[in-house]
Amino acid sequence: MRRALKIPAIILFLTSFLLAQASNPPTIADVEKFLKDAEARLDDLSIKASRAGWVQETYITDDTEAMAALANENFLAAVSELAGQAKRFEAMQLSPEMGRKLMLLKLSVSAPAPSDPKERAELAQLGTWLDGSYGKGKYCPNVGPFAGQCLGQNDMEKAMASTKDPAVLLDLWLGWHAIAPPMKDRYTRFVQLANKGANEMGFADMGALWRSSYDMPPEQFGAELDRLWQQVRPLYLALHAYVRSQLVKKYGPELVPLNGPLPAHLLGNIWAQDWTNIYDLLDVPGRGSGVDLTPALEQNHVDELRMVRYGEAFFTSLGFDPLPKTFWERSLFKKPADRDVVCHASAWDIDNQEDLRLKMCIRVRDEDFRTIHHELGHNVYQRAYRQQPVLFEDSANDGFHEAIGDTIALSITPEYLKQIDMITQVPGPEGDLGLLMHKALEKVAFLPFGLLIDQWRWGVFSGQIKPENYNQAWWELKEKYQGVAPPVKRREADFDPAAKYHVPANIPYTRYFLASILQFQFHRGLCRAIGYTGPLHRCSIYNNKVAGQRLNKMLQMGKSKPWPEELYALTGERQMDATAMLDYFGPLKKWLDEQNAKNGVKPGW
């Protein structure tokens, strides 16, 4: 006689559970509880990941990398799990706040983890290894003025800024880019795993996920970037053409083509993203008008700590609270002599409340003085939105976070420097072209670089750019957007993109392009708010409480509203607009066009 088949108890349980779920759809109360629990869990895990990440970046060892990887893995696992659970609420009619939180939950990591535990662990380990590998990167020249020294990123930047010898610059450029090739295979695998995580969340790839973070469809955001670039491209082309003509005078047409792209190693910066270190090569009226703050810092015996105090004082002059005591106790201001650290400047919010920190290997120079104001802008923003729910503890979009500190840095005018007794005399209008050129070599020169890094990565993430063409595509984009070429022929094995921190660290970069536009828009809005009517490049909001109140109103909103609403709160405008940048550099653009025409220099390459 045949025995009756018994249905295992677990099958009966699952069947009844699924039937119950189908007959009892989720309620608003279920969504509220889910979000409350999710935010508490993410808050706890993000704090643990921040603590581990801080230790890993300031004490780079195999052990700290392992601890940071584990903490990051746990956070990624929670996000993936919660994003999967949130799918059951997608068809519900929710309040704008609930709907926004569920959307932001899916977008809360730049590299979503696959659901498979082994792959999730591998992704976290790869991410930490890539970050640490960059931090440990060094080049030890055998010849030239830096022979016998081993240069990390900070020292390499200093070396590139201190010489105009093309042979030395080439050696340094090649040496730094040599840190990148070992990262290629692991980066390729990292992309595969993160793309799988993005697919599981419903995105075509990681690039589509990144482009979904701007309160508009991904394809619309791409069009928005192109619109902004077309607004500023004529200004960049005018600057590029003039700089090229001046480099030809210095190095000759054998090294600098008369009508071609600029050689990457001759621009005073490892990545050719900031050209301020060649300012002294340019023939500009008012060039010696005190635009470089470095001599004043040295004459005033300003050290690293006092540099940070100046930055804090700017924000307190606007009405913001002083930085907490723990900031001064726990931050890293100088590169330790006994260990490797990631020297790339960054602002940290460890506990989403008051444990704010700055990590920066400060050098007493003009660039770092401004960078400190930028990084403290992040800290002030982090503190301002700490009363928001966890999923709203961020900037309106990532470009806003980067733009705030740079907006403050635009107020580092001669007038401000005179107010803080850094200089004794404010240059007259005859020095404006020098001031604007110096600023343009920092801000305008950066624009295409800020755009092209993610253009490359989005192609990598989508599969349009294959591993066997990584380097070729990189230099094609460098030439297309920047008009910059490698100083020597490059191979696919070189993997030059990874010589820039944000690529191995997997930090989205379009935010910096947006910040380059937004900072001038913010600056113009704040200057209008205080009734300023003079040249925009001479406006400083230092010591103005009205500007501070207007700024703080937006900062406190965090990510609770779509960014056009938050932009409106600060500027009265709802669209990102580069005309403020064009207003700021208007006198320089006019002069550049005149000089290029007079000298028969044709913009473009």
- Quote the mean pLDDT of the chain: 91
Q: Which residue has the tokens 């924000």?
A: 315
Better-predicted residue by pLDDT, 594 or 18: 594
Q: Is residue 246 domain-resident?
A: no
pLDDT digits (tens, 9 = 90+) for 30-44: 999 999 999 999 999
Q: Is residue 387 domain-resident?
A: yes
The residues assigned a catalytic role are: 344-345, 374-375, 378, 402, 502, 512
- What integer pLDDT is reported at residue 422 of this predicted model? 87
Of 373, 334, 340, 332, the closest CA to residue 356 belongs to: 332
Residues 432, 332 within the same domain? yes
Residues 428, 566 within the same domain? yes
Chain CA centroid to CA 344, Å? 11
The backbone torsions φ and ψ at residue 2, rounded to the nearest 5 degrees and listed phi first, read: -75, 140
Mean pLDDT confidence for 74-93: 87
Bridge-partner residues for 8, per DSSP? none
> 143: pLDDT confidence band, cut at 50, 70 and 90?
confident
**pLDDT above 90 as % of the chain:** 79
- What integer pLDDT is reported at residue 1 of this predicted model? 39
- What integer pLDDT is reported at residue 28 of this predicted model? 94
Last residue of a domain, one of 177, 202, 227: 202
Answer whether residue 13 shows pLDDT above 90.
no
- What integer pLDDT is reported at residue 23 of this predicted model? 56
Number of domains composing the chain? 2
**Helix spans in 386-446 (H):** 398-409, 414-419, 432-443
Last residue of a domain, one of 202, 226, 246: 202
- What integer pLDDT is reported at residue 11 of this predicted model? 47
Question: In sequence order, which residues have a C-beta less than 8 Å from that of residue 45 and are 6 or more positions away?
Answer: 71, 74, 75, 78
Q: Is residue 214 domain-resident?
A: no
Mean pLDDT confidence for 244-252: 97
Better-predicted residue by pLDDT, 75 or 189: 189
Rounded distance, CA 525 to CA 522, Å? 5
pLDDT digits (tens, 9 = 90+) for 456-499: 999 999 999 999 999 999 999 999 999 999 999 999 999 999 99
Q: Is residue 528 domain-resident?
A: yes
**Segment (H or E) for 117:** helix 117-135
Residues 298, 197 within the same domain? no
Rounded distance, CA 155 to CA 139, Å? 10
Q: Is residue 159 domain-resident?
A: no
- What integer pLDDT is reported at residue 577 of this predicted model? 96
Rounded distance, CA 88 to CA 76, Å? 20
Q: Which residue has the tokens 């669209």?
A: 575
The number of beta carbons lying within 10 Å of the beta carbon of residue 344 is 19
pLDDT digits (tens, 9 = 90+) for 505-531: 999 999 999 999 999 999 999 999 999
- What integer pLDDT is reported at residue 261 of this predicted model? 97
- What integer pLDDT is reported at residue 352 of this predicted model? 87
Coil vs helix vs strand at 543: coil
Q: Is residue 535 domain-resident?
A: yes
**pLDDT above 70 as % of the chain:** 95
The backbone torsions φ and ψ at residue 183, rounded to the nearest 5 degrees and listed phi first, read: -85, -15
| Strand-strand pairing, 356-359 and 262-263 | unpaired
Q: Is residue 2 domain-resident?
A: no
- What integer pLDDT is reported at residue 596 of this predicted model? 97
> 289: pLDDT confidence band, cut at 50, 70 and 90?
low
296, 445 contact by CB (below 8 A): no
Last residue of a domain, one of 174, 202, 230: 202
Q: Extract the tokens encoding 114.
A: 């696959």
Rounded distance, CA 45 to CA 54, Å? 14
- What integer pLDDT is reported at residue 2 of this predicted model? 36
Rounded distance, CA 472 to CA 493, Å? 10
Residues 198, 78 within the same domain? yes
pLDDT digits (tens, 9 = 90+) for 166-200: 999 999 999 999 999 999 999 999 999 999 999 99
- What integer pLDDT is reported at residue 342 of this predicted model? 86
- What integer pLDDT is reported at residue 73 of this predicted model? 86
Q: Is residue 457 domain-resident?
A: no
Show the domain range for 366: 294-442+511-598
Residues 198, 309 within the same domain? no
- What integer pLDDT is reported at residue 239 of this predicted model? 98
